[in-house]
Structure 1
C-alpha cells in the first residue's frame, strides 16, 4: 500500500510576545497563507485521514484554516511535535495504523525540513532545497511505499513542495 505523507511548516506567525513562543498566534499574512493552502493540498492529496499537529498556537491555527479547504478525518494535538526533532516525529509516524492512507503533520522548522530530507530517497534538487529549510506555509509531499512501521531514512520519495497561491 502506498501512503502519502504531508509535512507542513506552520504559516507565518506573530513575533514572540509576553505569552511566550508556544502562544504565538498567526499573523494576518499567515492566516491568508493557511486559508489558501487548504484547497491546494486538497487538489494534490485529496482528504487527509490523520493530522498530527504540534501543541503550539500557530500550528493549531494553521491546521484549522487549512482544514477549512481540506477534509481532515481525524486530528490529534501532539505535545512532542512542539520541540521534538525529526527522529521523534519519525517515531510517531511509525506508530500509525496502516489504514491511514494520507497523513498530515503540522509542525516547525527545522524539524519539518529535516524529516523530509531524512526520508527522501534521492539527493536531487528538491532534497537540496529542503536541506536549506522550508519557508512558512510550505508543505513537503512524500510518497511512502513502505508500511508506516518500516518508515525510515530514504524510504519515501519527496514528490513536490506546495505553497499557497496568492
Structure 2
C-alpha cells in the first residue's frame, strides 16, 4: 500500500512588494497553522518515509514546520522544482516517480493544482483546499507508478479550522 498526503502550503504574506512570488514567506497565521497541522498528523501517529516540497519559500517553510512536529529530519526534506507552478500532469509525474521504498509520502504544493490533483486521484470529491489543508489518499499498489483513482481510497481531509 502507498499512502499519499497532499498539502497546500500555509497562508503566505503579501506584505513584501519587492519579493517574487517564489520568495513570499508565511504570514503569522501560516506560521501557526503549519505546525498545528503537523501536530494533527502526529496525533494520527503518522510516520513519513518521505516529505517533498515545492521550492517556494512558503511551501518549504510549511514543510519544515510540519516536519518538526512529526520528528522528520529537516535535512531529508526533498525539494522538487517541478512542484512550483506545476500542472496536474506535472504532479502526477512527480508522484509516479517517487522511490518505491517510500510507502508514506507528504507532498507540499500550491493551489489550484494541488486540489485538482487530489480530485484526479480521489474516488471522493475533495473541496477546494484551504491553506494548510491536507488530503490523505491510500492506494492498493506497491509501486508509485501504478497509483490511480481505480486503486485509491479517500482516507481524510483536514484543515486548520476543523
Q: Same fold (TM over 0.5)?
A: yes
Q: 1:98, 1:43 → 2: CA distance?
A: 26
More strand per residue: 1 or 2? 1
Q: Decide whether the 8 Å contact of 1:118 with 1:154 is kept in 2.
A: no
Structure 2 residues without counterparts, runs of 5 or longer: none
Match of 2:148 in 1: 152
Match of 1:101 in 2: 103
Report the more deviating stretch, 155-164 or 9-18. Answer: 155-164
Q: 2:78, 2:109 → 1: CA distance?
A: 12
Q: 2:156, 2:114 → 1: CA distance?
A: 14
Structure 1 residues without counterparts, runs of 5 or longer: none
Q: Does 1:164 align with 2:160?
A: yes
Q: Decide whether the 8 Å contact of 1:54 with 1:81 is kept in 2.
A: yes
Match of 2:43 in 1: 43
Match of 1:26 in 2: 26
Q: 2:42, 2:161 → 1: CA distance?
A: 13
When residues 84 and 45 of structure 1 are mapped into structure 2, their CA distance, relative to the original with a 3 A threshold, is farther
SS at match of 2:123: coil
Match of 1:141 in 2: 136
SS at match of 2:77: strand
Report runs of 4+ in structure 1 exceeding 2 Å deviation.
71-74, 152-155
Match of 2:6 in 1: 7
Report the more deviating stretch, 15-24 or 147-156. Answer: 147-156
Q: TM-score, normalised by structure 1?
A: 0.88
Q: Decide whether the 8 Å contact of 1:90 with 1:151 is kept in 2.
A: no
What value does the CA root-mean-square deviation take over the aligned residues? 1.7
Number of equivalences:
158
Deviations 1:86-108 (A, max 9, x none): 21111111112222111000000
